[in-house]
Structure 1
């Protein structure tokens, strides 16, 4: 019988980078680009800061799911304000793992919870539609260049792929604080 860690680590295929979006300022509309340099601080031209949330990722397959929850077709990636849309990989299974994207290497650090702006961006029920489908945060381990169509490959566990537990706890605490700001007091 195989160990659970081995089963979780195995992916059926590499993924593909379908969309790249830069947010030039905090509330600015994301701009789609074909390619970008990844620096230690995140994507060049994006307003993000270095650390465990430098780059945000969303699973392409979830665009259809979110749209279905809203009673319409797939949602446009820019509306959700994530940096990268990846197809063909279950990002949920990659928490704590390193990903090679183009010549860059990222580490998936934790979930990227939806913010209250999603209700305005998507309409009534937008925030709820994104719960559990808000994407993932990542830190930059190796700067490089990425482009639409690049393979997204999970790297082996060798070399310390797993993020330290205190990093997970810090990201989860930030997500919890963010949710508390949005949820009504009676739901807390």
Structure 2
């Protein structure tokens, strides 16, 4: 969906968020198929990824993956689990308090780091094994957001997630 002009009524509505979000959890994928490492802080590298993550040297468009904390219970319910650990879903940051979908195509700060939401973070076929039959579909629409790192810095659990005003 193309974003409406920033000065239109819909553009103004889409730019207005109720409050900043908060980083609740940070995880790194040290290698393919390896368990995630939960950390309290991480260095985000400009144009790359998170130090210690297997995708750190990869595509800048997917330098960081984020998932909505409020969606974890939904994914658990839809996949038939009492709860789902963030590590199971293999996203780097769990964020609460603001709708991540509103950050797609926008710049936002997470701690010292400037990110830009690039695309939805759709589930992969591995979610079927991780969550059981139907796990892939349980995550559809709840997979989160991919972001590129515009300005690197340190991200810590508890950091604010703040959308920046549109440049236009």
Query: What TM-score results when the alignment is normalised by the length of structure 2?
Result: 0.91
In the alignment, what sits opposite 1:43? Answer: 50
In the alignment, what sits opposite 1:116? Answer: 125
Aligned partner of residue 143 in structure 2, secondary structure: coil
CA distance in structure 2 between the aligned counterparts of 1:25 and 1:37, rounded to whole angstroms:
17
CA distance in structure 2 between the aligned counterparts of 1:113 and 1:37, rounded to whole angstroms:
24
In the alignment, what sits opposite 2:24? Answer: 18
CA distance in structure 2 between the aligned counterparts of 1:109 and 1:19, rounded to whole angstroms:
21
Q: What whole-Å deviation, never above 9, does each CA across 1:77-117 have from its counterpart, x for those lacking one?
A: 00000000000010111110111011001001011111111
In the alignment, what sits opposite 1:125? Answer: 134
Aligned partner of residue 45 in structure 1, secondary structure: coil
In the alignment, what sits opposite 1:166? Answer: none
RMSD between superposed Cα atoms in Å: 1.1
Partners of 1:26 and 1:47 within 8 A in 2: yes
Query: What TM-score results when the alignment is normalised by the length of structure 1?
Result: 0.81
Count of paired positions: 158
Shift, 1:27, TM fit: 2.0
Would you tell me which structure has more helix in proportion to its own residues?
A: 1
In the alignment, what sits opposite 1:67? Answer: 76
Out of 133-142 and 70-79, give the one that drifted further: 70-79
**Equivalent residue in structure 1 for 2:146, among 137, 148, 171:** 137
Shift, 1:132, TM fit: 0.8
**Equivalent residue in structure 2 for 1:148, among 138, 157, 160:** 157
Shift, 1:74, TM fit: 2.7
Q: What whole-Å deviation, never above 9, does each CA across 1:18-59 have from its counterpart, x for those lacking one?
A: 010000112211110000111021110001114111110000
CA distance in structure 2 between the aligned counterparts of 1:113 and 1:17, rounded to whole angstroms:
20
The reply to whether residue 56 of structure 1 matches residue 65 of structure 2 is yes
Runs of 4+ in structure 1 deviating by more than 4 angstroms, as ranges, are none
